[in-house]
């Protein structure tokens, strides 16, 4: 058995060498940090194009266009995978993934996901149907364990567009629910304008903060003495403000591929993520990318300070008792407006799989735990709609049907 396994590994290595020789524009990343220092060059872009996407000036000329990363090519598809053994290596996984298509890269971060499991990303070239490939990969068994594979939310690109187009062709109403909540189109704007626009929204959120008083509770006051060392612990740490707030529960999985394994993102609250290990140089690159192209994962970046106080929470709530005739995104947004702003809906609502309740992600200034009754009138009839915050600590169990990685 061991010799057979070694033969498989050697065969895998020969496949990788042949792939590299056949198509030099594709490079396999074995160690992202080490290879970054080597300054790999992209053979199809000329000697001035570094692998990491940073273009140098040649002959005194300034290149004013943004370089295209090979991973963003339309014929490249990324899949997230987890649930494999502790001793499984990239070589072994490469052998299994190679059976399903043209593998171009495998990356396994050092840290683990939220469930404490190892996870990684695999990139394929020439995938005609991402959903079909996803199902095939999800049935791979490595070391007696069946892999869990799906498409990461960040960078789904053409897969999301194809899915949206298919839904628009197949349905009339309700299938554009997620599209209506999509982020605003990226426009060129200065970093100051981005921060200013965020500040202008504070007043609107402050007006709804009085709603928290509806939850009458006992209160107490204390004084905490914080050492100077503790105050300075995160003084040089960057804080990013997420564009796509719906990924707040899995920021490590979503951002590790974008920021690199040396950065450890930690969700704070609201749309804020503490980016431990992010260098000032990388932060400035992200700011420039957002200012010039609007393609970064954050709409704002700033250094953490003691006055950094997130004013809202992102929570999942369940809305019970919504009349069938009111089953639409516009009505749902009005129903939860008293509690907060609608961010995302559960797949069951969009597909109308469950009509007894709707599961919604909202951004709210309310303190835990939200319980609210909405009285809705339809043609003179009165309907009571209950909004209840999901509370995992007290045993409220609800299957999460929204797409996650």
Render pLDDT for 95-149 as a digit per residue (tens, 0 to 9). 899 989 999 999 888 888 877 888 999 999 999 888 888 888 988 888 778 888 9
In whole angstroms, what is the distance from residue 60 CA to residue 202 CA? 46
List the one residue out of 307, 310, 312 whose CA is nearest residue 208. Answer: 312
Handedness of CA 303, 304, 306, 307 (dihedral sign): positive
Beta bridge partners of 124: 77, 103
The shares of helix, strand and coil residues in the chain, as percent rounded to the nearest 5, are 35, 25, 40
pTM of the full predicted structure?
0.45
Task: Check residue 25 and give its pLDDT.
Answer: 45
Q: How confident is the model at residue 332 (pLDDT cuts 50, 70, 90)?
A: very high
Question: Average of pLDDT values for 377-405?
Answer: 68
Phi/psi at 373 (nearest 5 deg)?
Answer: -115, 130
pLDDT band of residue 374 (cuts 50, 70, 90) is very high
Whether pLDDT at 324 is above 90: yes
Residue 255: what pLDDT? 84
Q: Cβ-count burial of 138 within 10 angstroms (0-12 exposed, 13-18 middle, 19+ buried)?
A: middle
Q: Comparing 7-11, 202-206, 252-256, 318-322, which segment has the lowest mean pLDDT?
A: 202-206
User: What was the pLDDT predicted at 251?
Assistant: 82
* 8 Å CB contact between 240 and 275: yes
Q: Residue 138: CB partners within 8 Å, gap ≥ 6?
A: 146, 147, 148, 149, 150
pLDDT for res 201: 54
Q: Sorting pLDDT into bands at 50, 70 and 90, what band is 395?
A: very low
pLDDT band, very low/low/confident/very high, at 4 (cuts 50, 70, 90)? low
Mean pLDDT throughout 390-403? 48
Question: Going by C-beta distance under 8 Å and a sequence separation of 6 or more, which residues neighbour residue 182?
Answer: none
Predicted confidence (pLDDT) per residue in 217-232, tens digit: 688 899 988 888 888 8
Residue with the larger pLDDT of the pair 251 and 375: 375
- The more confident residue out of 136 and 308 is 136
CB 138 within 8 A of CB 147: yes
Q: What is the pLDDT of residue 144?
A: 77
State the average pLDDT over residues 341-369.
89
Q: How far is CA 183 from CA 186, 256, 335, 399, in A?
A: 8, 21, 21, 26
pLDDT at 161: 52
Per-chain mean pLDDT for the chain:
74
Burial class for 60, CB neighbours closer than 10 Å (0-12, 13-18, 19+) = exposed
pLDDT for 348: 83
Sorting pLDDT into bands at 50, 70 and 90, what band is 238? very high
When pLDDT is cut at 50, 70 and 90, the band that residue 377 belongs to is very high
Task: Give φ, ψ of 191 to 5 degrees.
Answer: -65, -35
Instruction: Judge if the upstream peptide bond of residue 98 is cis by omega within 30 degrees of 0.
Output: no
> What pLDDT is recorded for position 63?
47
More confident position, 204 or 255: 255
Q: Does residue 196 have a pLDDT over 60?
A: no
Q: What is the CATH topology of the domain spanning 2-30+74-150? A: Alpha-Beta Plaits (3.30.70)
Q: How many C-beta atoms lie closer than 10 Å to residue 27's C-beta?
A: 17
For residue 137, the model assigns a pLDDT of: 92
Sorting pLDDT into bands at 50, 70 and 90, what band is 253?
Answer: confident
For the ranges 22-26, 243-247, 264-268, the one whose mean pLDDT is highest: 264-268
Structure confidence at residue 368 as a pLDDT band (50, 70, 90): confident
At residue 292, φ and ψ (nearest 5 deg) are -85, -35
């Amino acid at each position: 058995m061991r010799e057979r396994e070694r033969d498989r590994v050697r065969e895998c290595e020969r496949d990788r060498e042949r792939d590299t020789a056949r198509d030099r524009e594709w490079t396999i990343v074995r160690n992202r940090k080490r290879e970054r220092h080597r300054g790999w060059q992209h053979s199809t872009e000329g000697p001035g194009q570094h692998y990491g996407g940073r273009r140098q000036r040649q002959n005194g000329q300034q290149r004013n266009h943004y370089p295209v990363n090979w991973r963003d090519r339309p014929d490249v598809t990324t899949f997230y995978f987890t649930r494999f053994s502790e001793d499984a290596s990239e070589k072994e996984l490469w052998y299994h993934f190679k059976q399903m298509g043209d593998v171009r890269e495998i990356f396994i971060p050092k840290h683990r996901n939220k469930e404490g499991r190892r996870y990684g990303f695999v990139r394929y070239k020439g995938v005609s149907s991402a959903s079909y490939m996803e199902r095939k990969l999800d049935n791979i068994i490595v070391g007696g364990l069946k892999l869990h594979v799906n498409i990461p939310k960040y960078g789904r690109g053409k897969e999301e567009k194809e899915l949206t187009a298919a839904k628009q062709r197949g349905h009339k109403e309700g299938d554009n629910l997620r599209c209506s909540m999509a982020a605003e189109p990226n426009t060129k704007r200065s970093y100051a304008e981005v921060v200013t626009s965020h500040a202008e929204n504070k007043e609107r959120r402050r007006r709804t903060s009085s709603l928290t008083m509806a939850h009458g509770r006992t209160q107490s006051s204390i004084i905490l003495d914080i050492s100077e060392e503790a105050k300075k612990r995160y003084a040089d740490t960057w804080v990013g403000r997420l564009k796509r707030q719906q990924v707040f529960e899995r920021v490590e999985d979503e951002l590790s591929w974008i920021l690199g394994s040396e950065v450890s993102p930690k969700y704070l609250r609201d749309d804020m993520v503490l980016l431990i290990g992010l260098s000032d140089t990388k932060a400035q690159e992200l700011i420039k990318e957002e200012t010039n192209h609007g393609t970064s994962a954050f709409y704002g970046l700033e250094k953490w300070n003691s006055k950094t106080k997130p004013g809202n929470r992102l929570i999942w709530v369940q809305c019970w008792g919504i009349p069938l005739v009111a089953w639409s995104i516009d009505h749902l947004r009005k129903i939860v407006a008293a509690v907060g702003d609608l961010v995302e809906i559960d797949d069951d609502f969009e597909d109308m799989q469950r009509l007894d309740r709707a599961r919604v992600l909202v951004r709210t200034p309310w303190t835990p735990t939200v319980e609210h009754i909405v009285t809705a009138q339809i043609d003179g009839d009165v309907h009571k709609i209950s909004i209840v915050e999901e509370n995992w600590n007290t045993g409220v169990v609800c299957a999460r049907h929204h797409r996650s990685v």
